[in-house]
Chain A
Amino acid sequence: MEKKWFTISVYSENSVGLLNRISGIFLKRHINIESLNVSKSEIEHVSKFTIVVYTTEDWVRNIVGQVEKQIEVIKAFYHTDEETIYQESALFKVASTLLFDERNIQNIIKDSNSQIVTVSRDFFVLAKSGRRNEIDDMYQQLKPYGIMQFVRSGRIAVTKSEMKISSLLKEFNQ
């Protein structure tokens, strides 16, 4: 079976140790987590894990089944890239002198649709949200001028179709 990128969305209670429990499911199957993000969700007091893996659909189905089986997990879904709207965010810290000395830097900022978050005497920080390849492109463009620090977030994603989680919760709460 063909390997693909899958985004796994996990709705759960916000409890200590659940991340360990979920990551263990991947560990047991020797599957690498390519990206992980944990945040609040659209439902009050419900957390959302967004996990990206590169594997086969058989495995991702198996994993989602095991994840959903965990007591504190309310519901888990998996989707392909085509079924989701997804982004990552990155911060680039660059020396301030470049902003004034290298004209091309200003073009990179404009062309990449990134924002200047802060400017200080010594450095400035650029923020960029978008697809992984867009962030990678910007990284490659800035690299020759010297990047002091770089960080990229995990993928965050919403699905094109409805996730039937709120109605499910309502049913549980009855």
Chain B
Amino acid sequence: METLKKEKTASTKQATKRISGAEAIIHCLLAEGVDLIYGYPGGAIMPLYDELYKFQDKLTHILTRHEQGATHAAQGYSRVTGKVGVAVATSGPGATNLITGIADAQIDSTPMVCITGQVARHLLGSDAFQETDIIGISTPVTKWNCQVTKASEIPEVLAKAFYIAKSGRPGPVLVDITKNAQIDEFDFSYEHCKGVRSYNPYPKPDIKAIEEAAHLINTAKKPFIVFGQGVILGQAEEQLRTLVEKAGIPAAWTILGLSAMDTDHPLNVGMVGMHGNYGPNLLTNECDVLIAIGMRFDDRVTGSLDTYAKQAKIIHFDIDPAEINKNVKADVAVLGDSKVTLDLLLPLIKTNKHEAWHNEFKEKYKIEFDQIIKNDVYPTKDKLTMAEVIEEINIASGHKAIIVSDVGQHQMIACRYAKFKQTKSNVTSGGLGTMGFALPAAIGAKMGAMDREVVAIIGDGGYQMTIQELGTIFQNKTPVKIVVLNNDHLGMVRQWQELFFESRYASTVMVNPDFVKIAEGYHIESKRISERKDLKATIKEMLASKDAYFLEVKVEKEDNVFPMIPSGASVSDIRLK
């Protein structure tokens, strides 16, 4: 691979050392600054585990209860730290169990390196025990993948893997290492990868495009910003806030952009998309300039593309050229890292206020508050709502908790109502919508931010998809707070059945076990509540606990999440009921 640009690391400048491939993997991970990995052992990866045993003082390995849990934990860790998450599995079923997490990381641009064991080189293609073509299987869902069959290839491939995973638009990389390559010895030395000639992760910002963008923003009467995770990945939170404040532009977020800007900021007007806020959705079709920053116009954000922001000039800031004009045609495309491009844009932006325009958002918020938010957060009916649970967590945590949500109604409620002061605080499965994400992701999030409160908000359906990770929490004494909002249904699917399938509740009723007893089985402090009078005190008790805590909240069974843009409808057709 003469196409790599390399840089010697300080730690390995000394003479090369003859070691096994497995030990080399450890040294590569350490050289990349990795001190925590998630995984599950098995036959073809045993040489690596033997070395992990020897290096356990330098590199912590967390045994999850399923390989999928390892990927989601690595994702959770990455999402709160900004570092590359690492997951390890054996060949065959161990490797295939990683796929859901890899696909999730791919669509949500999460940097992750997965290392899989593989049968020995001479057995490849022989249908050996636990042999599977994980390179073939993982190709469509990885940013890059590579099979290593010789020990001497390990340093170069792993250096490239970490470089690719974290640079440009981040994503998952899988490195499949045959057993012989782990066992064989070679002369080890490590060089960081500084570039790959066929890969251009940071497109050079086009000053002309930035000037055009500034002109459009400066002359706009009703400018509107929609920001996504690109702001967080590019560490451009400060630049975003400055732009919003300087130009006086109302800004809304996608669910992966959530927490990039203080949720209480006066110009933060809320969430766009299917269950987003009324104002930002409706006014998408009223703005004259739409400034999209680090977001990809997902169909859950845009609804019908034929009627999406047709009246507006579109400015699209993104690092990935393939996102430009993919779904929405940009009038001005600004390629590059969001921090770099916004830094270039800011000096060209004139101070402005768009009070009348901003007031339109406030008016729409009032309508939404009266018709939806009030009943969600301050209900008068008997049964608890999901939103009031989130609100209690907001109050008790002072908007400082990391919220990890799963997928479904509770996720939409958590994203709609959770309050954040700090970036990288909302961890959720956005693009793939992976049920079962939250519990293992919360483990990774907590281990990545031990000084912060991590609260997992999970539905009764998704919880049971990765419930075995309670074992990981128990074994590692990971002090995560787990809140299951139990409506005894697959709530979001049930909602669609009610609205679009004439209430035919096909396979959405859940007969659930005693969740408290299950948590108790893992010696996790646990409680179940179903009445409002117990909510505040219990949330306080949960957050005061220094250990893991499981809380089941029995909520109204047939609540629906509104507002809602029905699938394929226009953002203008957002429904309040």
Contacts and interface: CB of A to CB of B under 8 A. Distances in A.
Interface of A: 12-13, 16-17, 20-21, 24, 27-28, 61-62, 65-66, 68-69, 71-74, 169, 172-173
Contacts of B324: 65
B526 interface: no
A73 B326 contact: no
A157 to B, nearest CB: 21
Contacts, number: 48
Contacts of A62: 322, 326
A11 B198 CA distance: 9
Interface string B83-98: 0000000000000000
B199 interface: yes
Interface stretch (B140-148, B178-186, B498-506, B545-553): B140-148
Interface in B496-534: none
Contact of A172 (B139, B164, B197, B320): B197
Contacts of B147: 16-17
Q: Is the interface of B mostly helix, strand, loop or mixed?
A: mixed
B445 to A, nearest CB: 28
Residue in A24, A65, A71 with the greatest tally of chain B CB atoms within 10 Å: A71
Given A68-B321, A71-B199, A173-B197, A13 B3 contact: yes
A144 B163 CA distance: 60
Interface in B189-214: 196-200
Nearest to A168: B200
Contacts of A173: 197
Residue in B147, B196, B197, B326 with the greatest tally of chain A CB atoms within 10 Å: B197
Given A65-B321, A65-B326, A71-B144, A20 B136 contact: yes
Interface string B298-331: 0000000000000000000000111011100000
Sort chain B's interface into a size bin.
20 to 34
Interface string B487-498: 000000000000
A169 B199 CA distance: 11
A169 B200 CA distance: 11
A28 to B, nearest CB: 6
Interface in B43-72: none
B576 interface: no
Contacts of B143: 71
B19 interface: no
Interface of B: 3, 135-136, 139-140, 143-147, 164, 196-200, 320-322, 324-326
A16 B200 CA distance: 20
A12 B145 CA distance: 16
A144 to B, nearest CB: 44
A61 B198 contact: no
Nearest to B146: A17
Given A62-B326, A69-B321, A71-B144, A20 B198 contact: no
Given A65-B321, A172-B198, 8 more contacts: A13-B3, A13-B198, A17-B147, A20-B136, A21-B140, A61-B325, A74-B197, A169-B197
Contacts of A20: 136, 139
Q: Is the interface of A mostly helix, strand, loop or mixed?
A: helix
Contact of B139 (A12, A24, A69, A74): A24
Contacts of A71: 143-144, 164, 196, 198-199
A44 to B, nearest CB: 11
Contacts of A74: 197-198
Nearest to B142: A21
Nearest to B141: A24
A53 to B, nearest CB: 17
Contacts of B320: 69
Nearest to A12: B198
A58 to B, nearest CB: 9
A135 B178 CA distance: 47
A68 B321 CA distance: 9
7 contacts: A20-B136, A20-B139, A69-B321, A71-B196, A71-B199, A72-B144, A72-B198
Contacts of B164: 71
A17 to B, nearest CB: 6
Contacts of A13: 3, 198
Contacts of B199: 71-72
Contacts of B146: 17
Contacts of B198: 12-13, 71-74, 172
Contacts of B197: 74, 169, 172-173
Nearest to B325: A61
A172 B136 contact: no
Contact of B200 (A12, A28, A172): A172
Contact of A28 (B136, B140, B144, B325): B140
A164 to B, nearest CB: 14
Nearest to A18: B139
Nearest to A16: B147
Contact of A17 (B145, B200, B321, B326): B145
A66 B135 contact: no
A47 to B, nearest CB: 11
A1 B486 CA distance: 48
A68 B199 CA distance: 9
